[in-house]
Amino acid sequence: MKAAVFSTFGEPAEVLDVREVPVPKPGAGQVRVRMIASPINPSDTMVVEGRYGVLPTLPATPGFEGVGVVEEAGPGLMGRFVVGKRVVVINNKGGNWAEYAVVPWKQARPIPDDIPDEQAATFFVNPATALAMVRHVLKVPKGEWLLLSAAGSTLGKMIIKLGRHDGFKTLCVVRRSEAKQELIDLGADAVISSSEGPVPEQVRRVTGDAGPKYALDPIGGEAGTAIFRSLGPGGRLIVYGSLTGEPIEVDPRSLISTRTSVEGFWLGHWMAERSIPSALLLFREIAALIREGVLSADIGRTYPLAQVCDAVREAAQVGRGGKVLLRMSGSQSPSAS
């Protein structure tokens, strides 16, 4: 089979190569999935760069999520129930940028027929992260402000739409002033640009001295620090990424006197704490919100696996038009029933 492989960490377009590798054989409790499509997420490219929290043994194939069809189950009973079904492929070790992938049967979740391949491919990482952080961890109440950086990302846009659906207000921070109007048109309640002045001052002009009680940041460094300093008394900041690789500066006196808090979020850890019934309920919740257009992803260009280097270059472009997908050659999607 063909797979995108890297043997050294570095710039994805320079170190990735499409190679012929053996077709993997599923072991006990595993299934082999013929991949249809897989997105290029920041977490995938950070793995290739060697900047992610958990790194694979090299050589390795990237790709944490995607959609495919289960073709074979290894020894064990449960895997047999998903053979022949179209599934969301959650590969927490990576490996989905290939024509075939092997995952535990619990990480091959059947997907309803009415959700197209493109949305099924992006079903898990962004929608589950948005829903978990906003509804299950922060539990943002109706009418409250949620401050978020990287608001123009796929995940940021989902949170804006989720705010409209659930009734909380989104205060979005972007780097470029020209990106503001798109988010306003999408439904953001307020959008500010870090290029137009100190973020905390701009936030106060929107929310008043009380400041927001809830915030999200995947950037870290100066941007994450500005988000933290914008919080009101008792505010909570969830950090779910570190795109800059730089630390957030926290003044201990401010932390103590204002009762603000900073906490980390990693979807893999959070999902590991969920029971199987709880995880199934989350998947149903996501599917319903995708159907309503709330957690659906904007899909940009789709590349064949052979053009993975062109695809990662496209995914790295600022202001690109939607999530970039890899489509595996010869893949055809059957019914999920």
Domain assignment of residue 336, yes or no: no
Both 13 and 103 in a single domain? Answer: yes
Both 96 and 208 in a single domain? Answer: no
Kindly report the number of other CB atoms within 10 A of residue 230's CB atom: 26
Domain assignment of residue 283, yes or no: no
All residues at 6 or more sequence positions from 14 whose CB lies less than 8 Å from its CB, including other chains? 309
In Å, what is the CA distance from 245 to each residue of 36, 52, 130, 169, 224? 32, 9, 21, 29, 11
Map residue 326 onto helix, strand or coil: strand
For 31-40, write each residue's pLDDT tens digit. Answer: 999 999 999 9
Domain boundary among 247, 268, 289: 268
Both 96 and 150 in a single domain? Answer: no
Domain boundary among 222, 251, 268: 268
Q: How confident is the model at residue 331 (pLDDT cuts 50, 70, 90)?
A: very low
Both 63 and 192 in a single domain? Answer: no
Both 224 and 191 in a single domain? Answer: yes
For 151-176, write each residue's pLDDT tens digit. Answer: 999 899 999 999 999 999 999 999 99
More confident residue, 52 or 143: 143
Q: What percent of the chain stands above pLDDT 90?
A: 81
All residues at 6 or more sequence positions from 282 whose CB lies less than 8 Å from its CB, including other chains? 128, 131, 132, 274
Instruction: Determine the average pLDDT of the residues in 286-307.
Output: 94
Residue 324's Cβ-side half-sphere holds a number of Cα atoms within 13 Å equal to: 24
- The number of folded domains in the chain is 2
Both 26 and 136 in a single domain? Answer: no
For 90-146, write each residue's pLDDT tens digit. Answer: 998 999 999 999 999 989 999 999 999 999 999 999 999 999 999 999 999 999 999
For 56-75, write each residue's pLDDT tens digit. Answer: 999 999 999 999 999 999 99
Per-chain mean pLDDT for the chain = 92
Both 132 and 108 in a single domain? Answer: no
Domain assignment of residue 289, yes or no: no
pLDDT at 215 over 70: yes
- Name 38's bridge partners: 326
Domain assignment of residue 276, yes or no: no
For 234-293, write each residue's pLDDT tens digit. Answer: 999 999 988 888 999 998 888 888 899 999 999 988 998 988 889 889 999 999 999 999
Domain assignment of residue 275, yes or no: no
Both 189 and 140 in a single domain? Answer: yes
pLDDT at 42 over 50: yes
Q: Which CATH number is 257's domain given? A: 3.40.50.720
User: What pLDDT shows up at residue 254?
Assistant: 82
User: What pLDDT shows up at residue 336?
Assistant: 38
Both 312 and 190 in a single domain? Answer: no
For 172-181, write each residue's pLDDT tens digit. Answer: 999 999 989 9
Both 110 and 132 in a single domain? Answer: no
User: What pLDDT shows up at residue 333?
Assistant: 42
Q: DSSP H helical segments within the chain, as ranges?
A: 12-15, 42-49, 117-121, 125-131, 154-166, 180-186, 199-207, 221-229, 252-258, 267-272, 276-291, 308-315
Domain around 111: 2-122+297-327
Tokens 């929608």 belong to: 127
Q: Are 322 and 298 in contact (CB under 8 A)?
A: yes
Domain assignment of residue 280, yes or no: no
Domain assignment of residue 291, yes or no: no
Both 167 and 55 in a single domain? Answer: no
Query: For residue 229, what are its two tokens?
Result: 């300093």
Pairing, β 108-110 against β 169-174: unpaired
Domain assignment of residue 232, yes or no: yes
- Name 6's bridge partners: 16, 60
Both 218 and 144 in a single domain? Answer: yes
Q: Are 267 and 133 in contact (CB under 8 A)?
A: no
pLDDT at 327 over 90: yes
Separation of alpha carbons 86 and 83, rounded Å: 9
Q: Which CATH number is 51's domain given? A: 3.90.180.10
Query: For residue 214, what are its two tokens?
Result: 């809830």
